[in-house]
């Protein structure tokens, strides 16, 4: 740990408008990892000043998704017994409960002439925008109200006394010079003041805009590092100017690169899932999502790709965050999930897949545990996402439907397949219970085939297909051994007999 320790305070400041986007969880994760790495404090603040975008239950949902993934907060909004509580000394941490703070701070700015009332009607602003667009100029407020005298302002304000809607307040930005943003990821970016708009700080309903609220709160909550998506970079010079207007020291800024689809467009719903909830519902493990999301824009500069949360905390730092967009590679996520799944014991995996099997209409309680575990043992190699379990294993539970043609091995014909299956049944009937373990049945069948001088494929192909109903499936030995555990030899034979009947 370096000398940042103790002083680091990060925050995640979502606007709860619905599902948790992969991009949001990445921001939350990086803020969390950075805070933990430096023994700092991680704050959760809810930015709900845009009341029209508010969604009921979104905060609870967001926190529970983050908790599932292991992203924790030390201060701010937490869930206690399913209910939202606020903890820490600098709250309330829900912006709609902090309106007084913003309104009082705006008054200070107005007094210091760093902000001003704007009385322009929306019609005038529309007109202005149209004119500027026609002249190919960037749409900006022309600062008309900034030129009003104190008397004119007082006069106009008095007209609003009985009105519910008040005039907005705008930030009075310097007209000349420039502001340099020193970003911990993107380096120094210089912004010409001439191109910055006198943005609104306080809206006519008394609510702050994002810009005012974020600066006031980050200051009052003593945030040391503002970590957020790169879409906020253009707002940062305005924030820095606001800090200066208040006479406050600005925090450190670290913006995170965009997350991209494989075709390098911005990650969007159109090309697949983007909500963390969807990935969890499909059976991606939370710890895999954590590992995967950590690598979206952060590069440990080693070969290591698999990280526990503790390793991430230990190794994470903002210096290793890339500027260039991070491609969301679903193949890599699938690979990683499969790998994590294979590391689980069969018992653990069975617990994990059980809800998916039930959802798929398979009543777990109807089947012997050793049968279920045998299926897991066979299928875990191929499993990448838990929800695939139903598609991969349904043939174990119900006699499969299939096209008779696939029973016939490429070098044989239907009569041969039928004859071989009949003698297999005879042979299986001569075996005893102990012979139905995978390795034993493999050995027994193979030596019987050799003794009979059959072509191996002419026996094993139709046998395997009769058991699985699939052109490609696990070996007949694995299948016999597993199916035997659900009702004994009769289950195995009944499938082979069904195949024989189909071949008639
Ligand atoms: N409320 C903003 C958002 O939804 C927060 C941006 C910031 O972190 O400053 O992304």
Question: What are the pLDDT digits (tens) for 114-130?
Answer: 999 999 999 999 999 99
pLDDT at 80: 87
Structure token digits, residue 245: 């207007």
Determine the straight-line distance between the first and last CA of the chain, rounded to whole angstroms. Answer: 76
Ligand 1: atom nearest CA of 12 is 8
In this structure, the residue with its CA closest to atom 3 of ligand 1 is 14
Residues in contact with ligand 1 by the CB-under-6-Å rule are 13-15, 47, 214, 228, 232
pLDDT over 80 at 1, yes or no: no
Ligand 1: atom nearest CA of 228 is 8
Confidence of residue 12 (pLDDT cuts 50, 70, 90): very high
User: Distance from the CA of 94 to the center of ligand 1, in angstroms?
Assistant: 13
Q: Determine the average pLDDT of the residues in 324-344.
A: 96
Q: Determine the average pLDDT of the residues in 250-274.
A: 89
pLDDT in tens, 140-151: 999 999 999 999
Q: Determine the average pLDDT of the residues in 275-283.
A: 95
Q: Determine the average pLDDT of the residues in 392-410.
A: 96
User: Distance from the CA of 477 to the center of ligand 1, in angstroms?
Assistant: 57
User: Distance from the CA of 132 to the center of ligand 1, in angstroms?
Assistant: 29
pLDDT at 18: 85
Q: In the chain, pLDDT over 70 holds for what percent of residues?
A: 99
323 catalytic residue (yes or no): no
pLDDT over 80 at 6, yes or no: no
Confidence of residue 428 (pLDDT cuts 50, 70, 90): very high
State pTM to two decimals.
0.92
Residue from 10, 18, 232 whose mutation best tests the ligand 1 pocket (most atoms within 8 A of CB): 232
CB 23 within 8 A of CB 73: no
pLDDT over 90 at 17, yes or no: no
Ligand 1: atom nearest CA of 235 is 9
Q: How many CA atoms lie within 13 A of 342 on its CB side?
A: 13
pLDDT at 53: 82
User: Distance from the CA of 243 to the center of ligand 1, in angstroms?
Assistant: 17
pLDDT at 4: 52
pLDDT at 349: 98
Residue from 12, 21, 34, 47 whose mutation best tests the ligand 1 pocket (most atoms within 8 A of CB): 47
Residue 68 to residue 287: CA distance in whole angstroms: 9
Ligand 1: atom nearest CA of 218 is 9
pLDDT in tens, 51-101: 788 888 899 999 999 999 999 999 999 988 889 999 999 999 999 999 999
Helix (H, G, I), strand (E, B) or coil at 190: strand
pLDDT over 50 at 2, yes or no: no
In this structure, the residue with its CA closest to atom 2 of ligand 1 is 14
pLDDT in tens, 162-213: 888 999 999 999 999 999 999 999 999 999 999 999 999 999 999 999 999 9
Residue 104: closest CA among 275, 1, 220, 20: 220
User: Distance from the CA of 164 to the center of ligand 1, in angstroms?
Assistant: 28
Backbone φ and ψ for 75, nearest 5 degrees, come out as -150, 155
> Active-site residue among 130, 178, 266, 269?
269
**What is the full DSSP assignment across 318-369?**
GGGB-SSPEE--HHHHHHHHHHHHHTS-HHHHHHHHHHHHHHTT--GGGS-H
pLDDT at 157: 96
Helix (H, G, I), strand (E, B) or coil at 427: helix
């Amino acid at each position: 740990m370096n000398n940042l320790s103790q002083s680091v305070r990060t925050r995640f400041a979502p606007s709860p408008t619905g599902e948790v986007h992969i991009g949001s969880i990445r921001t939350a994760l990086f803020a969390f990892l950075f805070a933990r790495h430096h023994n700092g404090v991680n704050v959760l603040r809810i930015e709900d000043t845009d009341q029209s975008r508010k969604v009921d239950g979104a905060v609870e949902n967001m926190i529970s998704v983050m908790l599932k993934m292991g992203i924790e907060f030390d201060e701010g909004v937490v869930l206690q017994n399913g209910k939202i509580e606020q903890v820490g000394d600098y709250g309330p941490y829900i912006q709609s409960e902090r309106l007084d703070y913003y309104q009082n701070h705006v008054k200070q700015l107005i007094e210091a002439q760093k902000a001003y009332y704007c009385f322009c009607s929306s019609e005038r602003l529309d007109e202005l925008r149209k004119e500027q667009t026609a002249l190919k100029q960037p749409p900006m407020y022309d600062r008309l109200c900034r030129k009003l005298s104190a008397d004119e302002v007082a006069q106009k304000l008095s007209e609003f006394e009985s009105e519910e809607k008040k005039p907005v307040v705008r930030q009075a930005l310097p007209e000349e010079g420039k502001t340099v943003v020193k970003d911990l990821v993107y380096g120094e970016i210089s912004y010409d003041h001439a191109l910055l708009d006198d943005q609104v700080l306080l809206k006519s309903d008394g609510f702050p805009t994002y810009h005012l609220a974020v600066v006031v709160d980050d200051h009052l909550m003593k945030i040391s590092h503002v970590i957020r998506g790169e879409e906020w970079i253009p707002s940062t010079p305005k924030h820095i100017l606001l800090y200066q207007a208040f006479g406050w020291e600005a925090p450190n800024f670290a913006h995170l690169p965009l997350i991209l689809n494989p075709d390098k467009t911005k990650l969007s719903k159109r090309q697949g899932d983007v909500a963390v909830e969807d990935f969890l519902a499909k059976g991606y493990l939370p710890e895999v999502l954590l590992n995967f999301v950590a690598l979206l824009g952060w590069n440990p500069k080693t070969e290591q790709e698999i990280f526990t949360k503790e390793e991430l905390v230990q190794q994470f730092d903002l210096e290793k965050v890339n500027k260039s967009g991070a491609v969301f590679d679903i193949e890599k996520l699938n690979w990683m999930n499969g790998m994590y799944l294979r590391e689980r014991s069969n018992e653990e995996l069975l617990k994990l897949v059980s809800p998916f099997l039930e959802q798929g209409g398979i009543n777990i309680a109807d089947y012997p545990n050793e049968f279920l575990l045998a299926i897991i043992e066979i299928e875990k190699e191929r499993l990448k996402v838990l929800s695939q379990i139903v598609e991969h294993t349904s043939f174990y539970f119900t006699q499969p439907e299939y096209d008779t043609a696939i029973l016939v091995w490429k070098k044989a014909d239907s009569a041969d397949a039928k004859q071989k299956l009949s003698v297999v049944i005879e042979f299986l009937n001569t075996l005893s219970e102990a012979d139905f373990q995978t390795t034993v049945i493999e050995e027994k069948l193979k030596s019987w085939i050799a003794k009979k001088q059959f072509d191996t494929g002419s026996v094993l192909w139709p046998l395997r297909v009769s058991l699985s109903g699939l052109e490609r499936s696990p070996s007949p030995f694995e299948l016999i051994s597993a199916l035997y555990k659900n009702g004994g030899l009769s289950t195995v034979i009944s499938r082979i007999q069904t195949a024989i009947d189909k071949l008639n």
